[in-house]
Structure 1
Amino acid sequence: MTAMNDKALPAWDLSDLYDGIEDEKIAADLEKYRAFCVEFAGRYKGRLSELDGAGIAAALKAYEQNSEIGSRVGGFAYLNMVTQMKNQAAVAFYQNISEKLTDYSKPLIFLSLEINQLPAEKIEDWLKNPEAAFYKPWLERVRRFKPYELSEAVEEVLLEKSMTSSSAWVRLYEETSSKLQYTVDGKTYNDAEVSKLLLDKNAETRRKAGAEINRVAEENADLFTFIYNMVIKDKAIEDEKRGFKLPMSSRNMSENVSDQMVETLAETVRANYKNIAHRFYRLKAKWLGVDKISYWDRNAPLPFADDTEYDWAETVSVVLDAYKSFSPELYEIAKDFFDNAWIDVPPRDGKRSGAFCAPVSAGAHPYLLLNFAGKRNDVLTLAHELGHGCHHQTRVKNGELNEYSRMTTEEVASVFGEMITFQSMVAKLPDGPEKLALIASKVSDMINTAIRQIAFHFFESRAHAERKDGELSKERLCEIWQEEMAASLGEAVEVGEDSRFIWSQVGHFFFLPFYVYAYSFADCLVNSLYQVSREGKVENFPAKYLEMLSKTAITDYGELLAPFGLNPNDPEFWNEGLSLISGYIDELERLDAKLQF
């Protein structure tokens, strides 16, 4: 393995969407989108009850085609911005496009409202037509929200004000976060770069980096506290008007999961804090030679871990080989992302931190954003985001309307992609320090996903609940944060003053409230699926897995998982997924005893 070469890292090419923000096709597509919205409302508003199955099918097909135009323009504006968030022209372009799409779409508000005023018999009659039946998943999703819809006039006001309320606060948070700078030992870092220091082998470097991240968070705490209070209040106002019982209920409705299922997941994970996270961090403290590890040492490399760096070509090879070993069909889907300029790999100043997969529309390929630093974790990050991309590609035939991001299933392919890549890496190693370090790193990641995200969920739930009594101070938010972190991490981790403001670094709290449990949901689901795969009791597992991925947005959980003998309504389903993590910790304890660390 060789050191990373930044110059060899590829960037994405958005020209298959538009040739830059000055492309004349953008204005033409916006006008086409605007004109359609007006014409569609003029033709169908107040007349849906008169349509037969063929009529509604034709209407929805035209509506879908127009939605793809809007997704294309909006997607381009966002992707163009996220790699250059210090470029004011790019940021302004994105905001301008977002405002226009919101404004132009107002005439279409009637559609779902009017559909929900129709009797069930009318919908059933429509669905007798094969072309209309294609849109059954979308129609069912629209009808699911019927009890929570408001009048057309109110819905229009909420849509218009979203640009100056929730969306505006999120924009302020993201723009501010992207400009934050950190100084360690006289050198300035952006978010992605300073995060890399937390993986340094030198404990003092990690301590300085963590303290600096917390210092910058504290420096911006007044602003972020105000933004978070506004985000929570804005959501609470709309939730109350719509009649949602709990702050998480609207998210759960979108996921098509019950509040009770999420509560069962959260409580089951919390009951496993001691057996998983607490047990693991006691081992890690031993390996690091301390009684307690600091908050910033949770992901620290072990002293006996190799310090190998992966270049981009090696990383791609590891991931694609793992995908191919699991399923040649999955490999062929994945390979397209590297044969085309669909991935933006290198970290750069002003680029959004982290990693994501961004679909543009249901019928077009997605793009992957990374901040590749050449570490082993970056290999698994690629496997994760590539899983998202492949998942999208299995669903292109479902159509723009039927497809939507049900976050509990959106994370399934990504986490499974990580799992098969990890297993391929660990299978090549004999018992020894390198194997122990690799498994420990994976367990650390799984705890961050399955355990820590539920601790985030409890933080979020408490913040939203307490906000009902008035604005929360930054001190109170820090208290809630420290309490939830301490409970989840255990007595072997020091949750002190140098990490108390880190809640403000969790972007999902701001731009996707109550998203975080989806990571744990998906992790437990994938762990259960992987257990089934490993047992070999399901014939043609890879083919059935890909078939499942193709239906995640259009099929309920019971039907999706039935071919694998799994029932997500059974509380033991979650324990089964968590048992895989516990089993890895058992293996770590075995290796620890054998190697006598």
Structure 2
Amino acid sequence: MEGRWNLDDLYTSFDSPEFKDDMAKLDQKVKEINSWAKDKLKKDSNPQKILEEYIAQYTSIYSLAVKLMNFGNLSLSTDAKNQKAANAIEKLQMKMTELTSATVTFKQWLGSLDNLDEILDSTEKLKEHKFYFQELDLQNKHTLSKEKEEVIAKMKNTGSSAWSKLQNNLTSTLTVEIEEDGEKKKYPLPVVRNMAFSKDQDFRKKAYKAELKSYEKIEESSAAALNAIKGEVITVSKMRGFKSPLEETLIQSRMDQETLDAMLQAIEESLPIFHKYYKKKGELLGHKKGVPFYDMFAPVGSVETTFSYKEAQEFILEQFDTFSSKLAEFAKHAFDNNWLDIEPREGKRGGAFCSNLHPIKQSRILSNFTGSLSDVGTLAHELGHGYHGQCLYQESMLNASYPMPLAETASIFCETIVSNAVLKEASDKEAIGILEGSISQSGQVIADIYSRYYFESKLFEKRKESSLSVDELKEIMLEAQRKAYGDGLDHDYLHPYMWVCKPHYYSAGRSFYNFPYSFGLLFSLGIYAQYLEEGEAFVEKYDKLLSVTGKNTIADVAAMVGIDVRSVDFWRSSLNIIAKDIDKFLELVE
């Protein structure tokens, strides 16, 4: 039916012969590659042949794992009680840890080659995968013995992964008590956090206070989880020879410190303009000391435009076509072939995401569409992710994995196409609401992400010495918010528990799950500015850029369109686009 996706091109069910056969095949292929790594790497002296065999074997395993895992995750995302999906995911996670032996053995063998670059230039197939193998060689420098890596992989299941699951369970089952009409009512935490967007200021304040009060029930458990996860990261990162968890994250992100420093410098310089916006928003809502946290997301202005799903499709296709027919054709194909699940319903997860399915050269997009203008922007955003995947399907699967900072490039670009079109047609009254919503979102990605980066930096620094108490964690968070928001926020009403409700802090595999968002927004804005300058001539460059994001460093990808991400001026120019929007908003509300 329209509004729900079709997963049949993956599998028809968890009981289907195809799904069961592929689970069995994955088992067999994992055993085969472990046996191959154990025997072949010792006996065969032809490195060229070994490298090409590895490509074939690992691509085959990766393809199967992506299909199986995505079928499980996609099924669970629309039906939280799907026990078969949950069981399949857990089995797959265990199966993938069994790959550790082969991958570690292979990396160590790769690191033993003295003439790797020469070998990689010897055949077309190896040239195609040169960056992939060079990255594996770099990883080998931070890889421990096979035995230690196997222990770490298995221990994570009862260590950081278990703590992460606990924290997810704590926040997803936490109920918040709010008094309404003289009666106390209980709500899930996500519902209460969404009350920040209510039109009723008294209700927003009441929800904020109730939310903070509710965290007292889980603060000690959350602190234990956070300390355990960050402690594990520090220990393992040090064992692997990284200078810090940040260095490890930058290497994983194919990004250098110079780029991060340039971006952070520009962000720090831009914070006063965001403070100006927040102070004005506070004034509009009747506050004299900046905006209190409970009013940060309060609606300002009036946006009454609504869309049916069909109208949203037509509008998106029309706007995408102004950029390129290829982008519009991709979106139409996605709509026509039920690649989207947009209907809100019980058991379906909130928010939105896109899963690119390289083995079947398709995508699946989840959103919770209610017809608002924001929902249309969300659809455009997720279709941008899908288009990024489409541009990568011509590449080998091993060359299709891009780093987090580049993950938002196409999505924000597509959202910008649509939001700019909406703004052009809006009345002054609606323009205020549209602009304010956009600036508020940018404020989260710039000012709030800056506070999260600062908090996590301090957390790692202090966790090296000892575990942190709840009071210490709260104080660091308040310090981070004061630093990021300045006098834009009322310091009597901050959010000391932001470390509890943000799941990003509770991933051992993704430390500093914050600055990539800032990078994504600002890089996309810079790319969009280039498009406005060059027009149609830019379209081919854009598609090419997306197609190589899986086999280049971030600096090299950016250089393809003439951008120097190590230059503070580039980041300033992107932030200036947001500054102009803030100036326009301030002008409209005067």
CA gap 1:219/1:364 in 2 versus in 1, 3 angstroms: farther
Task: Give the 3-state SS of the residue equivalent to 1:464 in structure 2.
Answer: helix
Residues 444-496 of structure 1: per-residue CA shift (max 9 Å, x gap): 11111123212211111111111112111122111111121122223232244
Bigger mean CA offset, 572-581 vs 527-536: 527-536
Matches of 2:526 and 2:189 in 1, distance apart? Answer: 34
**Runs of 5+ in structure 2 lacking a partner?**
none
Q: 1:40 aligns with which of 30, 33, 36?
A: 33
> Which ranges in structure 1 are unaligned for 5 or more consecutive residues?
1-7
**1:44-193 equivalences in 2 (<5 Å):** 44-45=37-38, 47-48=40-41, 50-103=45-98, 106-119=101-114, 121-184=115-178, 185=180, 189-193=187-191
Query: Closer, same or farther in 2 for the Cα pair 1:150/1:563, shift >3 Å?
Result: closer
- Worse-superposed segment, 578-587 or 282-291: 282-291
Q: Is the 8 A contact 2:481 2:494 kept in 1?
A: no
In structure 1, distance between residues paired with 2:193 and 2:309: 19
Aligned-partner Cα distance in 2 for 1:55–1:245: 33
Contact 2:170 2:218 in 1 (8 A): no
Secondary structure at 1:522's aligned position in 2? helix
Distance 1:92 1:39 in 2: 24
TM-score after normalising by structure 1: 0.91
**What is the rounded CA distance, in whole Å, between the counterparts of 1:558 and 1:108 in structure 2?**
27
Alpha-carbon displacement from aligned partner over 1:509-542 (angstroms, at most 9, x marks no partner): 1123212100101111112122222233x66112
Correspondence for 1:455 among 442, 451, 455: 451
Q: Distance in 2 between matches of 1:570 and 1:88?
A: 50
Tell whether the 8 Å contact from 1:315 to 1:379 is kept in structure 2 after alignment: yes
Q: 571-580 vs 525-534, which deviates more?
A: 525-534
Partner of 2:515: 517
Comparing 109-118 and 241-250, the one that deviates more: 109-118
Equivalent-residue separation in structure 2 for 1:55 and 1:79 (angstroms): 35
Q: 1:550 aligns with which of 547, 550, 571?
A: 547
C-alpha distance in 1 between matches for 2:24 and 2:256:
40
Aligned-partner residue type, residue 214 of structure 1: L
Q: How many Å separate the matches in 2 of 1:212 and 1:375?
A: 28
Q: Aligned in 2, Cα 1:42/1:87: closer, same or farther, shift over 3 Å?
A: closer
Give secondary structure in 1 for the equivalent of 2:369: coil
Among candidates 197, 204, 207, match of residue 206 of structure 1: 204
Deviation at 1:379, TM superposition (A): 2.1
Moved more, 354-363 or 180-189: 180-189
State the Cα distance separating 1:28 from its structure 2 match: 2.1
Aligned partners of 1:141, 1:159: CA distance in 2, in Å? 20
The Cα of 1:254 is off from its aligned counterpart by 1.0
Provide the rounded CA distance (Å) in 2 between the counterparts of 1:189 and 1:417: 35
Residue 366 of structure 1: SS of its match in structure 2?
strand
Match of 2:504 in 1: 508
For residue 11 of structure 2, the aligned residue among 18, 24, 38 is 18
Q: Deviations over 1:255-289 (max 9, x none)?
A: 111123223322331232112x1011122123223
| Secondary structure of the structure 2 residue equivalent to 1:358 | strand
- For 1:144 and 1:86, the matched residues in 2 are separated by 42
SS in 2 for 1:333: helix
Q: Distance in 2 between matches of 1:245 and 1:344?
A: 43
Is the CA contact 2:402–2:551 (under 8 Å) kept in the aligned structure 1?
Answer: no
Distance in 1 separating the partners of 2:309 and 2:491: 35
Deviation at 1:241, TM superposition (A): 0.2
Q: Aligned partners of 1:83 and 1:314: how far apart in 2?
A: 24
Q: C-alpha separation between the residues in 1 aligned to 2:320 and 2:484?
A: 33
Q: Equivalents in 2 of 1:10, 1:519: separation in Å? A: 29
Any idea what SS the aligned residue of 1:64 has? helix
Q: State the percentage of identical aligned residues.
A: 25
Q: Is the 8 A contact 1:211 1:498 kept in 2?
A: no
Corresponding residue number in structure 2 for 1:219: 217
2:231 to 226, 230, 233: 233
Q: Is the 8 A contact 1:362 1:395 kept in 2?
A: no
Asked whether 1:499 is paired with 2:492, we answer no
When residues 285 and 31 of structure 1 are mapped into structure 2, their CA distance, relative to the original with a 3 A threshold, is: same
**CA distance in structure 1 between the aligned counterparts of 2:77 and 2:156, rounded to whole angstroms:** 21
- Report the equivalent of 2:328: 331
Q: CA offset at residue 111 of structure 1? A: 1.8
Which residue in 2 is equivalent to 1:3? none
Query: Match of 1:530, as an amino acid?
Result: Y
Tell me the secondary structure at the aligned position of residue 368 of structure 1. strand
Aligned to 1:278: 275
Q: 1:404 aligns with which of 395, 401, 413?
A: 401
- 1:311-350 deviations in Å (ceiling 9; x for gaps): 3333333333222222111111122322223223234444
Query: Could you tell which deviates more after superposition, 511-520 or 26-35?
Result: 26-35
**Distance in 1, Cα, partners of 2:323 & 2:264:** 31
**Aligned pair in 2 of structure 1 residues 422, 350: CA closer, same or farther (>3 Å)?**
same
Q: Tell me, in whole angstroms, the C-alpha distance in 2 between the residues paired with 1:96 and 1:40.
A: 19
For 1:379-390, list aligned pairs within 5 A: 379-390=376-387
Larger displacement relative to structure 2 (171-180 or 216-225): 171-180
Q: Which string of whole-angstrom CA distances, capped at 9 and with x for unpartnered residues, describes residues 163-219 of structure 1?
A: 222222222223443334445435554455444432221112222333333333332
C-alpha distance in 1 between matches for 2:193 and 2:135: 40
CA contact (8 A) 2:37 2:105 kept: no
- 3-state SS in 1 of match to 2:239: helix
Residues 390 and 176 of structure 1: is their aligned pair in 2 closer, same or farther, counting only changes over 3 Å? Answer: farther
Residue pair 1:13, 1:341 contacting (<8 A) in 2 also: yes
Indicate the residue corresponding to 1:586 in structure 2.
583
> What is the distance in 1 between the residues matched to 2:219 and 2:372?
31
More displaced stretch, 513-522 vs 308-317: 308-317
